[in-house]
C-alpha cells in the first residue's frame, strides 16, 4: 500500500487564519492523529529491514524510527519564484538554501511529530495538548503544542518532525537525533500537581 501524504484542509498560514479556523485546524489535527500514526507505521513496516517496527510508544521505538527516517528524507530544488518569495519576506538579507524538503518528506515529518507526541504523552501522562492563540509573534502560534514543561511548550511536529527532517537533509544530524530530542524534553517534564 503506497504511503498517503497528509492533506490538511487548511492553508496552514496560521498567522493569517481567523481563530475560528485555527480551532477547526486543531480539531482536525486531533482527529487525524491516530490515522496518521497508522499511516506512518505502515510506511515504516513496508521498508526492508524495518518490517517488525512497532509503534508501541516506547522511547526505544524512536531509535529505530529515526534511523528509518534518515533513509527517507528527500529534497527538491526550489523554483526561482519560491526563492524570490522567501527573499521578499526577509527583514535582513541571508543565504537561502536552494533545496527544500519534498511534500512526502514534509508529510512524514508531520506524522513522526504526531507519533513523537504520543510517545511523550504515554510516558508522561501529565502532559496536555494546548493551542497558543495569545500572541501571533509566538513561533508556535495556532499550532497544537504539548504543555507540562514548565513555562515552555513543545510543538512536536516542528521539533520532533520538521526540524529533524531539515537536520537530516542538511547532513548536520543523524537518525539518533529523534531520540535525543525526546530525552531533552523528557528531562523537562514537570511533575503533576
Residue 59, domain member (yes or no): yes
Residue 167, domain member (yes or no): yes
Domain count, the chain: 1
The pLDDT tens digits for 71-115 are: 999 999 999 998 888 888 888 888 888 899 999 999 999 999 999
Q: Say what the pLDDT of residue 169 is.
A: 96
Its domain, for residue 63, covers 17-85+96-186
What average pLDDT does this structure show over 16-21? Answer: 92
Q: Is 123 helix (H, G, I), strand (E, B) or coil?
A: helix
Angle between helices 177-186 and 103-123 (to 10 degrees): 40
Minimum mean pLDDT range among 4-18, 29-43, 114-128, 129-143: 4-18
Q: Is the pLDDT of residue 116 over 90?
A: yes
Beta-strand runs (E) in 41-135: 75-77, 99-101, 128-130
Reported pTM: 0.93
Q: Say what the pLDDT of residue 174 is.
A: 97
Residue 191, domain member (yes or no): no
Residue 32, domain member (yes or no): yes
- Can you tell me the distance from the alpha carbon of 179 to that of 64, in angstroms, rounded to the nearest whole number? 9
Q: Say what the pLDDT of residue 91 is.
A: 84
The percentage of the chain sitting over the pLDDT mark of 70, rounded to a whole number, equals 99
Q: What is the dihedral of CA 58, 174, 102, 37, to 10 degrees?
A: 0
Residue 9, domain member (yes or no): no
What average pLDDT does this structure show over 171-184? Answer: 97
Residue 105, domain member (yes or no): yes
Q: Say what the pLDDT of residue 193 is.
A: 66
Amino acid at each position: 500500500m503506497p504511503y498517503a501524504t497528509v492533506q490538511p484542509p487548511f492553508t496552514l498560514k496560521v498567522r493569517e487564519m481567523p481563530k475560528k479556523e485555527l480551532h477547526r485546524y486543531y480539531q482536525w489535527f486531533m482527529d487525524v492523529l491516530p490515522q496518521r500514526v497508522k499511516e506512518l507505521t505502515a510506511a515504516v513496516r513496508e521498508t526492508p529491514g524495518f518490517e517488525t517496527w512497532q509503534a508501541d510508544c516506547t522511547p526505544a521505538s524512536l531509535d529505530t524510527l529515526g534511523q528509518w527516517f534518515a533513509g527517507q528524507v528527500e529534497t527538491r530544488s526550489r523554483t526561482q519564484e519560491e526563492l524570490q518569495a522567501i527573499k521578499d519576506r526577509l527583514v535582513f538579507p541571508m543565504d537561502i538554501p536552494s533545496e527544500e524538503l519534498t511534500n512526502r518528506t514534509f508529510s512524514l515529518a508531520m506524522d513522526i511529530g504526531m507519533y513523537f507526541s504520543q510517545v511523550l504523552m504515554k510516558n508522561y501522562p501529565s502532559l496536555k495538548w494546548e493551542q497558543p492563540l495569545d500572541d501571533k509573534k509566538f513561533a508556535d502560534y495556532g499550532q497544537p503544542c504539548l504543555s507540562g514543561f514548565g513555562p515552555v511548550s513543545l510543538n512536536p511536529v516542528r521539533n520532533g518532525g520538521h526540524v529533524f527532517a531539515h537536520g537530516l537533509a542538511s547532513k548536520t544530524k543523524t537518525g539518533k537525533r529523534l531520540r535525543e530530542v525526546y530525552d531533552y524534553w523528557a528531562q523537562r517534564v514537570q511533575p503533576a500537581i
